[in-house]
Amino acid sequence: MEIYYTIPDIQKCLLELKSEGLSLGFVPTMGALHEGHLSLIRRACEENDKVVCSIFINPIQFNNKEDLENYPKTLESDINLLQENDCDILFLPDNDEMYPKPDTTTFDFGHLDKILEGKFRPGHFNGAAIVVKKLFEIIEPHKAYFGEKDYQQLVIIKAMVKKFSIPVEIIPCQTVREKDGLALSSRNLRLNESEKSIAPEIHKILSEAKSKASKSNPENIRQWVISKVEMHPGLKLEYFEIVDPHTLITVDTPLKGQKYIAKIAVFLGKIRLIDNIEIFF
């Protein structure tokens, strides 16, 4: 695997690849790689001639300074994992490379970045969209891979690509989970032993909510989830909403047989975890 630290260096390499007519897949990450990230890398390898992964902890998408400072960093292991999974190129820029001067772009995504995660993490999606747009402009991939674990991010990136007519195909990838159902996340590294034993409850509650849906309605399910989360002293619910998969608007009167997304964010101690599940009424 080749590693590039600067924009001119990676662009020189990519220009050569593209001049040979090779297709390019791209997986943007913030590192602390796990099987979720690696599933994206493997899918990109299957569908493209060459695969680029980026690792950049994007400061402007953190609305919480402590979260940024404590974000896990496991670069040596990340490089080994990328090599073992046949990634061709790693882009590893630093802050000065990505932001030689502060980027104050403000995107207008309508309601999409103001609800759900956006309500609790103001500026998060604007910061994420800035860095992903920059990375797309640097790398110009044919396909880019994003996890459904960060469902709202996926919807917003799709909206951004459409808005700016960026010629990249966005490929959504299924959430990879532990055997006990916990969605893999770099932040799981920060859970202590007792928090680790509680964390699988989040997916268990979502799964049970899903199984109740055909005999219930969104508001009753919401109330059930709220009471279920309250029963666990370690968990603190930030939100639970059942939303339209495209508009992300909360659904009151769902259509039978149509897919919706149940989204949840909870605090487990100081660690904020998110998850979601498809749900049908």
Q: Which residues bind ligand AMP (CB under 6 A)?
A: 29-30, 36-37, 39-40, 146-147, 149-150, 173, 175-176, 183-186
If the CB atoms of residues 57 and 205 are measured against ligand AMP, the closer one turns out to be 57
If the CB atoms of residues 110 and 172 are measured against ligand AMP, the closer one turns out to be 172
For CA atoms 43, 47, 51, 57, give the dihedral sign: negative
If the CB atoms of residues 48 and 186 are measured against ligand AMP, the closer one turns out to be 186
Contacting residues for 185 by C-beta, under 8 A, at least 6 apart: 34, 36, 149, 273
d(CA 67, CA 272): 9
If the CB atoms of residues 82 and 221 are measured against ligand AMP, the closer one turns out to be 82
Identify which of 47, 40, 43 has the alpha carbon closest to the alpha carbon of residue 146.
40
Contacting residues for 90 by C-beta, under 8 A, at least 6 apart: 1, 2, 3, 4, 52, 53, 54, 55, 79, 82
- Name the minimum Å distance from CB 179 to ligand AMP: 13
- Name the minimum Å distance from CB 20 to ligand AMP: 28
- List strand residue ranges (DSSP E) for 7-65, in order: 24-29, 50-55
- Residues labelled catalytic: 37
Q: Are 74 and 33 in contact (CB under 8 A)?
A: yes
- Name the minimum Å distance from CB 190 to ligand AMP: 13
If the CB atoms of residues 71 and 281 are measured against ligand AMP, the closer one turns out to be 71
- Name the minimum Å distance from CB 14 to ligand AMP: 20
- Name the minimum Å distance from CB 224 to ligand AMP: 25
Identify which of 36, 1, 13, 45 has the alpha carbon closest to the alpha carbon of residue 140.
13
Identify which of 190, 74, 55, 67 has the alpha carbon closest to the alpha carbon of residue 124.
67
